[in-house]
Amino acid sequence: MLMLRSRFNLQTLAPLLTSPRPSPSSSLPFLLHRRRRRNLSFSALRPDPSAPYAAAAAAAAATAAAPPKSKGPPPPAGVVRTALFVPPGVPRDAGAAEMVVLPGSNIVVGPYAGDARIREVEFAKSSPRARDCPRDDRPEFAVIGRSNVGKSSLINALVRKKDVALTSKKPGKTQLINHFLINKSWYIVDLPGYGFANAPESARMDWSSFTKGYFLNRNTLVGVLLLVDASVPPQQIDLDCANWLGRNNIGLTFVFTKCDKVKSAKGRRPDENIKHFQDLISKYYKDPPPWIMTSSVTGLGRDELLLHMSQLRNYWDNEAA
């Protein structure tokens, strides 16, 4: 299937976002229930041919033909081609002509996509242990990655505030589970980075333990944004983290950061590093998880990532209702 590479923002997707959404009952088979947990296992999602999609497909076609309105930068040249991530509500037999694919990603826009704007953000809580995290029923996305991958910068870029998440020249400053409440309805969760820079060995073990406890026991976790630095060759620790999440049936999206970086003649471009990473991750995942290219400096991928999160969150909300 071909990836539609036209640039657009949330305004150009307005017809699609107002399309009717499938009823929750038609999508229940795609959610994997693991005891008390309700997080999405993205690689296991399969679209239901019976789910209504005609209106969304028509709006998608109109959107693809519309002139781009975004002033943001386009994805780097040489966008990686991999199998598409087809979200809930998109029929299995939908052709490429009926699909809109978010630029710089493998993510198809489906009828569960909705209002992705962030109007309000507030710090909710820092928790030293998973059991201390907020206990309401709001859905949440966890952000994790190597301690110098740019987690705080990405979170600040998503909410468009410079100091929401702590940034530091010393990697590994995040040592707690930090919840940020978005629009009073859902959370972004900043988790400690792995790799942990120069942290003492005892702290590394504690961080690893409570982070895994959070993943395994958090009922409201919609999915994990696993950040990967696209400006450097694939790192084994990122592959190991992705493998662990997959083995534990925890849905993830690869968010490639620093895609604005341009390496010297001896280095590889971000798209080349991403392609190499995709080749390596295929050993762990039969179907490629969703992935997207971003840059906190240029704003690349911001609106698209939020739209992707909205369709997963809306599906989760409908299933939980």
252: domain CATH number is 3.40.50.300
Predicted TM-score (pTM) of the model is 0.78
Q: What pLDDT digit, counting tens, does each position of 176-219 carry?
A: 899 999 999 999 999 988 865 455 555 554 557 778 889 999 99
Q: What is the pLDDT of residue 211?
A: 85
Handedness of CA 23, 26, 27, 31 (dihedral sign): positive
Lowest mean pLDDT among 2-6, 89-93, 237-241, 270-274: 2-6
Listed range (49-58, 109-118, 264-273) with the worst mean pLDDT: 49-58
Please, are residues 47 and 147 in contact by the beta-carbon 8 Å criterion? no
Sheet holding 186-190, edge to edge: 121-127, 177-182, 186-190, 140-145, 221-229, 252-257, 291-293
Instruction: Supply the pLDDT for residue 89.
Output: 84
Q: Which H or E run contains 314?
A: helix 302-320
What mean pLDDT is predicted for residues 18-33? Answer: 36
- H or E segment to which residue 17 belongs: helix 14-17
Percent of the chain with pLDDT over 90: 47
Residue 42 in domain: no
Cβ-contact 150, 296 below 8 angstroms? yes
In a domain, residue 25? The reply is no
Whether residue 207 is contained in a domain is answered as yes
Confidence tier at 22 by pLDDT (50, 70, 90): very low
Question: What is the rounded CA–CA span in Å between residue 290 and residue 307?
Answer: 13
Domain count, the chain: 1
Residue 188 resides in a domain: yes
How far apart are alpha carbons 274 and 127 in whole angstroms?
33
Give the C-alpha separation, 72 to 259, whole Å: 14
Domain membership of residue 137 (yes or no) is yes
Q: For residue 257, is it within any domain?
A: yes
Residue 134 included in any domain: yes
> Range with the lowest mean pLDDT among 117-121, 134-138, 316-320?
316-320
Asked, for residue 37, whether it belongs to a domain, the answer is no
Backbone angles phi, psi at 120, to 5 degrees: -150, 140
CA triple 139-144-145, angle to 5 deg: 160
Q: Whole domain around residue 132: which residue ranges?
A: 121-320
H/E run at residue 158: helix 151-159
